[in-house]
Structure 1
Amino acid sequence: MADARNQTGVSEFILLGFSDHPQVQLILFVAFASAYAAALLGNVSIITVICSQPGLHTPMYFFLVNLSLLDIGCVTSTVPQMLTNLLAQKKAISFQGCLAQMYFFSAFLATELLLLTEYILLAVMSYDRYVAICFPLHYGTIMSRKICILLVICSWIGGFLAVFIPTAMKSGLPFCGPNIINHFFCDSAPLLHLACSDIRLIELVDFLVSASVALGTLLPTVVSYLCILATIMKIPSTKGRIKAFSTCSSHFTIITIGYGTSMFIYVRPSQDHFMSLNKVASLMTTVVTPMLNPFIFSLRNQQVKEALRDSIAKCFPLQRTPGCDLRIVLKNIFD
């Protein structure tokens, strides 16, 4: 990246956030801190359970571990700074810190389809489900350990590399004031519109990249699910069809939320007139989705629920007395 100190007269930016009223800020702090803690606890728990249970060492859960890592990276790149600003008198972030936050948010979440590693990975997961349902006898060969690792590595590298060039272009822009960003973190669009130079080329690059990634991940996902749907409809038993639909429902839920929100925020030629709406919609990708993913993907999955119950029971053993079996208590809670 270009040396930011020689390219700008602005040394820091002010993040407006959602409100400057002290009582509202306190309520928001408690809410976002709770959501952040839930996201971390949920995703770390899923990673720990899957890694510690040999029965869950399958392609689907391997992708799920990487999804949880991406959720942790996404929420950690934005929420701690937001929480700090909610308690601070001066809601500032340095120029270099702003660029770093924008880069890592864009790399982990890949700017919600504008370079979104998480949904490239989810598109790979849809391929995983397609193979499992449509070609069950060849599943072990097609989704081998080597192929799974290669797909995940390509997703991570592709997301980080795709974000680098647009971020480098933005780091070379001159910023001579004002320095107030109408957002709760350093997102691309509000930062671009503070530059005191022509930003049309960078806006075009952002749009083309986001549109390319959106089509590149959405199209294979749609095709895969059409194949899955066609296969499910051929299953003779109603119970079998319901079980197959349940296998894919959580992934479909995340796709609907993620693609809908991301396309609204990023896949537009210019975003200058929607900054306030973008700020609210961004909560879905920065806070809500990372918090809900562990529940959507895991607590609706019987294997993960059983593994989680066993792990908790091992960590907190209780003396077995009549009516006091921790596994039974946990089963009642989760079921």
Structure 2
Amino acid sequence: MVRYGSRGGRKKYFRLRSPSRWKFLDSDSSGEEVSEGPVIAENKKPKLLCVDDEVEITSALKRVLIRDFEVIEVHSVGAAKAILKENSDIAVVLTDHRMPDGTGLELLEFAQVTRPEAVRALLTAHVDLSAFFNAVNNALVHRLILKPWDNEYLRAQMIESLAAHTSLLEKTELERLAITDVVTLVRNHRFFQDQLKIEVERANRHGRVLSLIMIDIDHFKAVNDRFGHPAGDAILRQVASRLTEGVRTLDTVSRYGGEEFALILPDTDVEGASLVAGRLREAIASQDFGLTTITISLGIATLPAHATTSHDLVRKADAALYTAKRQGRNQSVVASVDSPLD
């Protein structure tokens, strides 16, 4: 037995003969019956971001969807982008196309990058739908709702989209695992190689600078030998966490292999990379690791000063790292312009 909304204090009940067949019964704020359906438990309501510059439209959409979703109403593309940045649990983005500060397709493209697990639905009254159908075919839009909408159809589409949301969550998680180091939870070696090629190509194309810092934990083998590999893994995680905290969100922290990490710093010259390396070295040296003191050595190389390809940039930074370790460790060294690449 599924319970629905009340009217005049009296409860209405309805038995669903088949979960695949919809029956709709509910009341709007005026007490008049409108199309509704099975109610999702209050504490399990997924979040739906509803975007339209007209308050009357978002209010009408909310009345249809409020029983099944936690509806967040916003009235501009800018406000919607801010919500997406701040909330990682948005299940559905339902947006009108035409708004004063942008378009619905622009917002959904932003959502595709920022929250790929969210279902993207477009509400439009356009007659020429070729651009929107192309967007659907390119997976930018998962649902296309035409104005004026039918309440039953809209609600059914939004509820059905939750299955797509679950699939997107699983897909996003698999993609995350494929590029994540299982021990440190930073990016893995494969991702580093791919991302470095992308950043080098971008820097060369636009005439920008790019720095790479190779990092090695000093005497890490001795830590493993003395305290065991579980303790060594814990130290790797702590170092990775501190490195991540010490750089910008646009920078890439990766585990290069073993006790070695790599940092990709876009739009960062030699001086900037040296400052970053110095801060990170001091942060690790002052960190309380419990079992022992940990220090790191760092090698810095910059494009285009030291190299113009990803392969040469890695080798230059690695050579500088080797110099730092040979000179006594716990220091950073900048690659020389004429340093060998062998």
Give the TM-score range, shorter chain: under 0.3
More helix by share: 1
More strand by share: 2
If the length of structure 1 is used for normalisation, what is the TM-score?
A: 0.24
If the length of structure 2 is used for normalisation, what is the TM-score?
A: 0.23
